[in-house]
Every structure is written in C-alpha cells, then in structure tokens.
Amino acid sequence: MSVFTTVTPDQLRVWLANYSVGSLTDLQGITAGIENTNYFVTTTQGRYVLTLFEKLKTYELPFYLNLMAHLAEHGIPSAHPIASRANEYLGELNGKPAALVGFLPGKDLARVGPAHCGRVGALLASVHLAGQSYSAVMENPRGPRWWAAVMPEILPFLGTDDAVLLREEVRFQAGHRLPDLPRGAIHADLFRDNVLFQGDAVSGIIDFYFACTDALLYDVAITVNDWCVDEEGALDAPRADALLEAYRATRPFTASERGAWPVMLRAGALRFWVSRLYDFHLPRAGELTHAKDPDHFRRILRQHVARARELAA
C-alpha cells in the first residue's frame, strides 16, 4: 500500500485550480510505489498521475522533474510534468511537495524475452543520447563514497563469506575508478517494474527518482543485471546480447567502455546488494517494511566475480 498521504477529491479540486487541466472526474490511489504517494487523476481533459513526495526534498526535485521533461521533449516515452498556471512543475499539496505528470499507458512485463530486452536496450541508448543535452548535474548519491560509508554499518549483520565479498568488492571498485567513461544523465534504476509495454513496444519509462549524473555504462550494467539474469544470478546470454546489440546500434560503445564492462556489471550489482542489505538490516524508524531480498544481488555479484576470475585465469 503506497498511499501514505491521503488526498480527497475536494482537496484535489481546489489544488487543480492552479492548473489548466480541466475538471476532476476520477481519483484513484496507486498501490505500486514504495517511496511516494501516487494517484491516477482523470479530468475532463485527460489522464494524469499525481505524486506526493514522501522523502525527497523540494530542492532535490527539479533535477528529476526537469529531466523527465527534457527526455519527453526529445521523444522518450517518459511522463512529462504538467506545468501549473504559474509555470511551475513543482507544487505543494497536504504539506508535501507534489507534482502532476502525464499518464503513460501500458504495463510492466510478467515474462521477459530477448526481443523485449532489445527494445529496452535501444530505448536506454536513446535516453543517454537525449540526456547529453541536459545541463543539470546530480552526483550519484549511491556511488562509491556511499557504499564505502555504509559498509561498516552493514558488516556486523553479515556472515564471514559475505563480509569478505563485500570488503573485497568495495576495495576492488575503489581500485577501478574509470574517469574516462562517457558520462551524462542516467536513470540508474531501469528495472522491469519501471518499464511499461503495450504489446511488444515500450510505452513508458517511469520512476526517475534515482536518476543522477554518472557513467552511461553503469546504467547499462544496472539494466542488464535486472533484465538479463537467471534465477542463479548468472547472465542469460540471449537476453544480454539482445539488449547490448540494440543499445550499440543506437550508441556504439567506446573502447574504454568495452574494457570497463566487467567492472561495471560488478559495480551495478554491488550498489543494489548494499542498498538492499541496508534497508533489510537497518530499516528506518517508522518505515513500512518493504525491504527486498538482498541475496538476489549477492548471487549476481558472485557470478560476475567468478566470471571475471575465469576470464583472468
């Protein structure tokens, strides 16, 4: 259940007078999100999504909202924020920062095949191309500085093998910073539940609230780690090949990116293993419990490490 802040139709009617979107005809809470409160809003003029930001601060939001606008304006199927009559994307409703964005049709996939991965790879490359002209910058808040900082809090909860793996991987990544990789705006969380399909085509990408400025290849690695792994955490070659082939047809990889791929796959796995460990063992007070299984990303990381050793042997 993800409606943390209730909005009544009467409250919303008053608030919508700040916009040029017609009159409210329907309001439905959305149960899918875990970070924000979301509602489907239907008016005489169209369909929108209302988001009340439960954790993100007002000063952080322009980066995300302007990025969504920028990408939509470049032909990416991302939801465009709706500007108020005062020309603002960001408002306030019931004490929370709030934004209205366009509605995107489609649903996330129950089963993923190579053709879907190809669509996602091509679209991710388009996102990266379009993002090159987005001028705002947000350092990755879940990068090497963060995982090194939270590691001491997590280690006491881990068995010996996992503690060794975590320490060694943090050390490995610290020794393999790759400043010459192409950088730009990245989604940084393009998991299956953030991509909507209609039939075989992508109809929307959502949830830009982990977006930041980082290596484009890191975004590819995060995406492959979700879309193209099997139950044991190993890469599924047909899906990974389809995603990477479609990506490179739109944006060819540089030589430095080709060399950095194994390191990036591990970095993408480490980032989500650490955040899931943290949320699992150190839930924030008063938080609804929705921690996801950390072991899934440990398995992926172990597979990537083992693969790298094979290659080096």
Residue 67 and residue 97: Cα distance in Å, rounded? 17
By CB under 8 A, which span of 14-22, 139-147, 152-160, 272-280 interacts with its own copies? Answer: 14-22
What residues numbered 108-127 form the site for its own copies, per CB under 8 A? 119, 122-123, 126-127
Which lies closer to its own copies via its Cβ, residue 67 or residue 127?
127
C-beta closer to its own copies: residue 82 or 264: 82
H or E segment and range at residue 197? strand 195-198
Site string for its own copies, 25-44 (x = CB under 8 A): -------------------x
Q: Are strands 212-215 and 24-30 parallel, antiparallel or unpaired?
A: unpaired
Does 170 participate in binding its own copies (rule CB under 8 A)? no
Structure token pair of residue 224: 């492959």
Among 15, 19, 63, 209, binds its own copies (CB under 8 A): 19
Here's the x/- map for its own copies, 131-150, by CB under 8 A: it reads as -xx-----------------
Does 103 help bind its own copies (rule: CB under 8 A)? no
Q: Is 264 in the site for its own copies (CB under 8 A)?
A: no
Instruction: Report residue 222 as tokens.
Output: 């995060």
- Amino acid at the residue 231: E
Residue 282: count of CB within 10 angstroms of its CB: 12
In the list 73, 92, 139, 293, the residue contacting its own copies (rule: CB under 8 A) is 73
**Per-residue burial over 63-92, b = 16 or more CB atoms within 10 Å of its CB, e = otherwise:** bbbbbbbbbbebebbbbbbbbbeeeebbbe
Number of residues that bind its own copies (CB under 8 A): 40
| Residue closer to its own copies, measured from CB, 162 or 219 | 219
DSSP 5: S
For position 192 contacting its own copies by CB under 8 A, the verdict is no
Q: What distance in Å separates the CA atoms of residue 68 and residue 90, rounded to the nearest whole number?
A: 13
Question: Is residue 78 helix, strand or coil?
Answer: strand
Site for its own copies in 214-253 (CB under 8 A): 249-250
Q: How far apart are CA 67 and CA 219, in angstroms?
A: 15
**Residue 74 interacts with its own copies (CB under 8 A): yes or no:** yes
Min dist. Cβ of residue 122 to its own copies (A)? 6
